[in-house]
Structure 1
Amino acid sequence: MEWTLKEDRVAVIALHRCGYAPIQIFNILKNLNITKRFVYRTIKRYNEDSSVDDRSRSGRPRSVRTPAVIKAVKARIQRNPKRKQKLLALQMGLSRTTVKRVLNEDLGLRAYRRKTGHRLNARLMDLRLKRCRALLKRYAGKKYREILFSDEKIFTVEESYNKQNDKVYAHSSEEASNRIPRVQRGHFPSSLMVWLGVSYWGLTEVHFCEKGVKTNAVVYQNTVLTNLVEPVSHTMFNNRHWVFQQDSAPAHRAKSTQDWLAAREIDFIRHEDWPSSSPDLNPLDYKIWQHLEEKACSKPHPNLESLKTSLIKAAADIDMDLVRAAIDDWPRRLKACIQNHGGHFE
């Protein structure tokens, strides 16, 4: 139970009824941070009213935030929960402050940012459900820490920008614009495709896909698999058992790629076992890429070479505690996907 002002009064009156003088009560209860005036006033009010409850207060009755207004706001929000406070205030002839207090204090509502997600139909949801169950069973316990997760992402030379969280403290918008330069965007900025592998035990080297060269099965095998994936058996995993994960891109699910991995006795998650359309189940997608982009693209780059240098440095400096936390979150995400019957869960 929370200790409130009423409990202070009860303690004072209890001692008063036992015959203690006000000054004695104060000395006994001073650890409650009460004053002598509080003791005397509490005893006086008790003698007058025989009660320790708050007295009723006479105040001006509400004239704007009335039950009828609260009911009307509630009805409008139920019909369309995407309403903007400013527009709602204009439509109802209320101040924005009144609308905000009705929503927050009277209705207990808060505004939350809408979430985006990959498109899922009934077939994909059913596949995700079945494959998540199989993966959760296959990598029960700590076996998921044996997986080398991989993915590709396109980076541009432009500055990373989050509309929701990138704020500038200033006295006015003009001052903010003068203190911090605008985030500039152009048409078709220079970009590159990056491949990376992460596990509980470390990261592979950052691989930059060659510009203008289509990453088909042969190119994928000769560059990524040969130079980056195959060596981790002896380096990252120190000859221990490990598992390679890749998504269902054409070069990854090609029969020649699957045969290439099998011929080298590399255990891997086959494309028919990995949930497609599931960036929310790959640690790179739901955590690592965002971190690397924030670090490497905190400012615009003059060219691709500058971007490459920053990405290599960001990957080299990444905190392994962050990587391990993301990978340890993987089983929970599988369970969440199962609980939502293969649908979105975040």
Structure 2
Amino acid sequence: MKCKDLQQVVFRKYEDGDGPTKIFRDLSGSLGLATIKRWCKMIRDTGSIQLSKPPGGPRFARTSKTIQKVKHKLNQKKMASVRSLAKDYSISKSSSHRILKEDMKLYPYKMRIEPKLTEEHKNKRKKFVNWVGHNFRKEDTMRILFSDEKIFDLDGMYNSQNQRIWAVSRDEADEKGGIKVKQKFPQKVMVWLGVCSKGVTPLVIFDSGTVDHAEYIQKVLPVALKYGNKTFGKHWTFQQDGAKRHIHHLTQTWCQDNFPSFIDKDHWPPNSPDLNPLDYCIWDEFAQCVNWKKVTSKATLIDELKCAVEKIRQDVVLQSCSSWTARLSRVLKNGGGYLKK
């Protein structure tokens, strides 16, 4: 029964001499007793039921017209917040949120950062995939030693979106560790690591935080060579990306003279961290193995990095290397584009 109809029923019954309790019983719970008493008082005082307009926006904000306006807005503008939509269409934030999630079946996604790939880059990526297909069997790809460098700092790693503190107030959350203190210029440590289907190499640490081709040749390449020969014997391949210290002519010459095989600067495609197991898997695993609570200085950071490399799970390493050829196939299907996952 509509509200207007209920008002007429209450008005008629009250005029006939029925009290609020009897009206409530006759309506079988269609209206609350308190509401009926309030309406009866209105009839007694004014001779009619006069309901004031409810405060705030209209009761039914999620109309088809408003939903169409929101759709049009999103088609014109790639990003729009719940707050801005609510302000633009004079609706509450909760109504705006329900329109997006319940009516339009949309989900909020955080903006991701990925390397910019030109058509030339995409063509080189496709060319690399074809080159691997013609020169490597599946078992050969399992004998590739991938390598990379990464910088860690004293602030550690955390995810502001996923790491939540449940508390009754902001102050309590802060007391439970809800504040992440970041330094303006935190001390940093650069490390090098190699990974293959059999495991990971010893960790090489650069105390200065940077490394040039000379230090790379002196400290890194002998470690890679020793590990590769010990693990695979005479048949394996070394990989490195297009960093300047890697493509330096002296580095390339050293690799050519010492490694059984290596992917030279003319074959590894530019802007392709999504093709290196370290970038798309192992570095995250490594960071999760670090006990960041113990990191209070550069020395403790180095100690924790050394401990963490021993905790990297072998099944994660094997899976990341085993999936490499499948990722290459996806590059071709994606027209040379960047792999999202």
TM-score (norm 2): 0.77
Quote the Cα distance in structure 1 between the aligned partners of 2:259 and 2:210: 28
Quote the Cα distance in structure 1 between the aligned partners of 2:209 and 2:198: 33
Aligned counterpart for 2:266 among listed residues 269, 272, 277: 272
Quote the Cα distance in structure 2 between the aligned partners of 1:100 and 1:254: 54
Matched, 1:112 2:109: yes
Output the amino acid matched with 1:86: R
Contact map agreement 1:132 1:275 (CA 8 A) in 2: no
Aligned counterpart for 1:182 among listed residues 179, 182, 186: 179
Contact map agreement 1:150 1:196 (CA 8 A) in 2: yes
Matched, 1:219 2:215: yes
Matched, 1:281 2:275: yes
1:200, distance to aligned residue in structure 2 (A): 0.5
Matched, 1:304 2:301: no
The percent of aligned pairs where both chains have the same amino acid is 32
1:234, distance to aligned residue in structure 2 (A): 3.8
Secondary structure class of the residue paired with 1:270? coil
Over the aligned positions, Cα root-mean-square deviation in angstroms equals: 2.0
CA change 1:196–1:265 in 2 (3 A) is closer
Aligned counterpart for 2:200 among listed residues 200, 203, 214: 203
Give CA deviations for 1:3-46 in whole Å, capped at 9, x if unaligned.
xxxxxxxxxxxxxxxxxxxxxxxxxxxxxxxxxxxxxxxxxxxx
Aligned counterpart for 2:225 among listed residues 216, 220, 230: 230
Contact map agreement 1:202 1:236 (CA 8 A) in 2: no
Give CA deviations for 1:155-204 in whole Å, capped at 9, x if unaligned.
11113121221111112222211111511111221111100001000111
Q: Name the residue aligned to 2:127.
A: 130
Output the amino acid matched with 1:148: L
Contact map agreement 1:158 1:189 (CA 8 A) in 2: yes
Matched, 1:262 2:259: no
1:113, distance to aligned residue in structure 2 (A): 1.5
Q: How does 1:1-346 map to 2 (within 5 A)?
A: 63-211=60-208, 214-216=211-213, 218-226=214-222, 228-237=223-232, 239=233, 241-296=235-290, 298-299=292-293, 301-346=295-340
Give CA deviations for 1:98-127 in whole Å, capped at 9, x if unaligned.
222222222221111211111222322222
Structure with the larger RCO, 1 or 2 (CA within 8 Å, 6+ apart): 1
Moved more, 93-102 or 134-143: 134-143
Quote the Cα distance in structure 1 between the aligned partners of 2:154 and 2:209: 17
Quote the Cα distance in structure 1 between the aligned partners of 2:158 and 2:60: 44
Quote the Cα distance in structure 2 between the aligned partners of 1:241 and 1:250: 27
Give CA deviations for 1:255-283 in whole Å, capped at 9, x if unaligned.
33222223235211111111111111111
CA change 1:233–1:149 in 2 (3 A) is closer
**Structure 2: gaps spanning 5 or more residues:** 1-58
Contact map agreement 1:191 1:304 (CA 8 A) in 2: yes
CA change 1:327–1:213 in 2 (3 A) is closer
1:205, distance to aligned residue in structure 2 (A): 0.5
1:299, distance to aligned residue in structure 2 (A): 2.9
1:141, distance to aligned residue in structure 2 (A): 2.6
Quote the Cα distance in structure 1 between the aligned partners of 2:207 and 2:64: 65
Output the amino acid matched with 1:256: L
Output the amino acid matched with 1:303: S
Q: Name the residue aligned to 1:35.
A: none
CA change 1:344–1:264 in 2 (3 A) is closer
1:321, distance to aligned residue in structure 2 (A): 0.6
CA change 1:182–1:212 in 2 (3 A) is closer
